[in-house]
Amino acid sequence: MLARIFPDRFVPVLLATILLASLLPVRGAAVPVAQGISTAAIVFLFFLNGVRLPRDEVLHGIRNWKLQGGAFVFCFGAMALFGLAAQFAVAPLLPATLALGFLFLGILPSTVQSATAASSLAGGNVAASVVAAALLNLAGVVLSPLLFAAIAGSEGEIHGQAVLRIVAILLLPFLAGQAAQKWLRPWVLAHRGLATFMDRTAIAIAVYVAFSAAVVGGIWSLLDAREIGIVLAAVAVLLALAFGGAWALGGGLQLARADRITLLFSGAQKSIAVGAPLAATLFPPAAAGMVLVPILVYHMAQLILSAWIAPILNRPAQV
């Protein structure tokens, strides 16, 4: 029953993390300790991503320029514009930091595991999906914060200290993981379940610490049922634009069906694995939790939607 409601087991984990942060947020003297643990988890997460993303497959997959270029433009171009439009639409109705979260959602790269899994389930080009995820995430480590700063203006201004944090916490561990691939990647591939568990634990820690600060800052007193409904409606519109737009772009580029399916999931999905650490790096703790609300809702919704439409797309009669 749970598998039908939550096709990806990480969805209830995220829900439980938000509930725990709401009931038992980190307070007082425990805050610096929790932030230190969160930072260490983020460093480990990006090191593990560096180990896992295959350089050889990335270089080979670049040759499919139409698919990879389409995924790149849609993920960082069209989705950034959709996020900006959503921010403007909800700005008069929601707290400014929460509205900014829709733009933040739009500039994030695609997921890795779930986009590839959905593509496989739908009969897509799995190898190209792995490459697209790798390219988008490689670019996203650097491009996402720069794109956010460029579009958000003074609201998303990145100061020197934030740049150093991005380099130290996100980029350097990722590069270290790439350098260690020769020795560590075989172990990671041989222990996929353990690697996934560590990966998701790191994300859950980052979300818990960020959301705890938002709860202590009064997020639930700032948001009423009407505003939560606005967030859900805005995310639903974004999902429709994202999945509909990515599918239409694949048709416009005249991609083969398998490649079109890959573009759909690589272009429309957004990564909480990058979003949570990046928010913790760019924003003060209380603001980071508020900014993360749209991507948390979107991430859970995209997994459920992908699990429902993937088997439909795998039917040859469906176009």
Q: pLDDT tens string for the chain (319 positions)?
A: 444 545 556 678 878 888 898 899 988 888 889 888 888 887 887 788 778 766 665 565 567 788 889 999 999 999 999 999 999 999 999 999 999 999 999 999 887 667 877 887 788 887 777 778 777 877 887 888 888 888 876 555 554 555 566 667 767 887 888 888 888 888 888 887 877 788 778 878 877 887 787 788 777 777 788 999 999 999 999 999 999 999 999 999 999 999 999 999 999 999 887 788 888 778 887 788 889 899 988 988 887 788 788 888 887 644 4
In a domain, 227, yes or no: yes
Instruction: With respect to residue 57, please indicate whether it lies within any of the assigned structural domains.
Output: no
Does some domain include residue 221? Answer: yes
- The number of folded domains in the chain is 1
Q: What pLDDT score does 245 carry? A: 96
CB-count burial class (<10 Å; 0-12, 13-18, 19+) for 50:
buried
Q: Is residue 293 part of a domain?
A: yes
Domain that holds residue 71: 10-23+66-155+203-313
> For 139-179, how does the pLDDT look when each residue is reduced to its tens digit (9 = 90+)?
887 888 888 888 876 555 554 555 566 667 767 887 888 88
Q: Are 174 and 51 in contact (CB under 8 A)?
A: no
| pLDDT given at position 1 | 47
CATH at residue 146: 1.20.1530.20
Read off the pTM.
Answer: 0.76
In a domain, 45, yes or no: no
Question: pLDDT value at position 10?
Answer: 67
Question: Are 233 and 297 contacting, i.e. CB atoms less than 8 angstroms apart?
Answer: no
Shortest CA distance to 205 belongs to which of 20, 12, 7? 20
pLDDT the model gives residue 112: 67
Residues 314 and 40: their CA atoms lie apart, in Å, by 40
pLDDT digits (tens, 9 = 90+) for 302-314: 877 887 888 888 8
Identify the residue whose tokens are 């694995």. 273
In a domain, 286, yes or no: yes
Domain annotation covers residue 35: no
Residue 43: inside a domain: no
